Structure 1
Amino acid sequence: MRAILYICHGSRVKKGQQAALAFIEKTMRTEAAPIQEACFLELADPSIAEGVACCIERGATEIVAIPFLLLRAGHANVDIPIELQGAMAKYPDIPVYYGDPIGVDERMVDVLIERLHQTTEIVPKDASILLIGRGSSDPATIDDFADIKRIFQEKTTLQNVSVGYLAACGPFFEEELERLLEQQPKNLYILPYLLFTGILMKTIERTLQKTKTTTAIHLCPALGYDPAIHAILNERANEAAERKRGLNVPHYA
């Protein structure tokens, strides 16, 4: 019997944990797998090991593990496979098929644009947009985010679009914010490419609160709940089940 294990990142912010679990619960209602569980990589419970154990206790004979993450990076490529490998050591006869994160998908850019229009119905063509990513030292993540920016510009026809990262790589959010404000745009829209409210959103909010400028700064909400993300997660689960790809843990891990 197949189980789907959704693996969220985790957050120190309780609201972020609750939002992730609530989202996964809605996704479970759209997926036909008989066993579905959610867990966290870090910072929250249940852990990956606890999620695996729960699937087995409920009768799973195979597990499809889906990283509920936006892009390819160290967590999806290394950290989660390592944790899964350790958890599955107790169950050598149970296969685990590992899926892809959400990745670059036009539907996610559509959600991003919806969040922009939640902040303002009409975005001035001369407005500056600052897309905010989590950041990663993995070059593939940087490439993915460049694709997201490109698709965003194609769909909106907005020209003044920049990127800033919160950690691990540049240009960093604070530096890019300062650079843009030096240009004194009339409107600056901060558009976080983050799933939920958490420490990173609070970091953005604190930075903006102490920023002194005559520019009108508009902070858009995080991506949050959207049916399109349910559809993508279901697709990733189906792809993983059909592909039957096992864990690829780097030899240096």
Structure 2
Amino acid sequence: MTTWNLTQMQRHLLICNGDTCMGAGAEEVTQQIRDEIRTNRLDEHIHTSRTRCNGRCKDKCVVIDYPKGTWYSVQEEETSRAIVQETVKEESIIYSMEHGERKRGETRFKGINKYRRARGPVKKAVLFVGHGSRLEAGNEEVRQFIERMRGQIDSSLLVETCFLEFASPNIEDGIQLCIEKGAGEVHVIPIILLHAGHSKLHIPAEIEQAREQFPDIRFTYGQTIGIHEEIIEILLTRLTEVGFDVNQKHEDTAILFIGRGSSDVDAKEDFYKISRLLKENLHVPILECAFIGVTTPTVQDGMERCIELGAKKVIMLPYFLFTGILMKRMNKMAEQFKLDYPHATIEIAEYFGYHPKLQTVLLERMNQALDGTSTGMQDLENFRNYVEETGYVHEHQH
């Protein structure tokens, strides 16, 4: 092993190579800093070391300048190189030392104590996790939906909302917010229709990472919405709203049931199970399934199939929770289908939205997590086993 002569060393840069920082580009930061040192022939004066987690994951990637005591948040190459030159902009400083006191940057959150003595009853937090959309209107619908539910949730519970991707706060931030507000228990509830990669891998990975960072906090995990009788009721309501009488026979009508699409076999099977339960409540000769992405049959395939089977009217029924880019795309498809099939009536029903029965399902999933009867805890165990077998590395980006 190399033994460096550090006699002339003036500064020691400690570069976090913990999981979160590595996922955010810590390897690149390490190489950029070392390249800047070499280029300026500062090797004898500045030494670098890789560290494990330094407990400031939200500020990733973290670099500590010793003995100055300055902590930096590095998110671009310019900052990496400026650290070597000691010309870092104020907004990239997490902590600095002034007159022997540690000063936190104005844009940086305070953080929490890793270990805390219990003071009175443990606060419980419920963290709802929406998928997140590139369309902000969809994210706002999720926030408003949870806000409308608050009146039905025990007022002693902290209630927060976060997102898997495309929106803020993400799960990591959501968990930290709950703990900052004093939660000793965090119950994570996915607002996700079907059990697939997000609920099997990505959310459990976030929870497991949080358990390592906050060993004194108890985490539980709720199950997805899944197959539930109330979901059938929501779908029937949305059909009724477009003038479809669920109690009458509709011999020339087809229902085109449209899901998001997933490569997960279980999710696809569950979607088809829901379609069969739905058909049992309808009097139509045709109910076709289709997916707007990832898998087949496509929405175009489904529409063509309905027309080939003789449907004179096709109702597109979205299996979507809230609005988003895909719902916008589906509405455009409906308009094009009207032009492509002028002899058929094409209608599109609403997505789930603020339906009260969706509240019923999520409240049930929340209570299961709180009372320890949720199947989500088995999902966490399955994830741990999966990690042991495959060496899964959490790389889901937000």
TM-score interval w.r.t. the shorter chain? Answer: over 0.9
* Structure 1 CA distance for aligned equivalents of residues 150 and 199 of structure 2: 21
Which range moved further: 34-43 or 171-180? 171-180
Alignment of 1:91-240 (within 5 A): 91-122=214-245, 125-126=250-251, 127-211=253-337, 212-213=340-341, 214-240=343-369
Specify which of 191, 203, 208 is matched with residue 85 of structure 1.
Answer: 208
Cα root mean square deviation, aligned: 1.7
Partner Cα separation in structure 1 for residue 150 and residue 273 of structure 2? 29
**Structure 1 residues without counterparts, runs of 5 or longer:** none
- AA matched with 2:152: T
Alpha-carbon offset, residue 121 of structure 1: 4.3
Quick one: which amino acid aligns to residue 145 of structure 2?
F
Shift of 1:242: 2.3
The one-letter code sitting in structure 1 at the alignment partner of 2:188 is A
Structure 1 length normalisation: TM-score? Answer: 0.94
Q: In the superposition, relative to structure 1, how do residues 183 and 208 fare at CA in structure 2: closer, same or farther (>3 Å)?
A: same
Give the counterpart letter for 2:250 in structure 1. Answer: K
- Matched letter for residue 139 of structure 2: Q
8 Å CA contact retained: 2:334, 2:347: no
Do the aligned partners of 2:286 and 2:306 also contact (CA within 8 Å) in 1? no
Q: Name the aligned partner's letter for residue 355 of structure 2.
A: D
* Cα shift readout 1:14-55 (whole Å, capped 9, x = no counterpart): 111111111111122211152110000000001111110111
Which residue pairs with 1:44 in the alignment?
A: 167
- Cα distance in 2 between the residues matched to 1:98 and 1:31: 17
Q: Kindly indicate whether the alpha-carbon contact (under 8 Å) linking 2:127 and 2:160 is maintained by their aligned counterparts in 1.
A: yes
CA contact (8 A) 2:134 2:167 kept: yes
CA distance in 2: counterparts of 1:175 and 1:90, whole angstroms: 47
Show the counterpart of 2:74: none
Question: Could you list the runs of 5+ residues in structure 2 that have no partner in the other structure?
Answer: 1-122, 393-398
CA distance in 2, matches of 1:182, 1:150: 21
Q: TM-score, normalised by structure 2?
A: 0.61
Give the secondary-structure state (helix, strand or coil) at the position aligned to 1:156: coil
* 2:214 maps to amino acid: Y
Once residues 145 and 240 of structure 2 are traced to their aligned partners in structure 1, the CA distance between those partners, rounded to angstroms, is 22
Correspondence for 1:25: 147
Give 1 or 2 for the bigger CA radius of gyration: 2
Structure-2 change in CA distance of 1:157 and 1:185 (3 Å): closer
Q: What is the CA distance between 1:73 and its match in structure 2?
A: 0.9
Larger RCO, structures 1/2 (Cα 8 Å, 6+ apart):
1
8 Å contact kept, 1:52–1:88: no
The residue aligned with 1:75 is 198
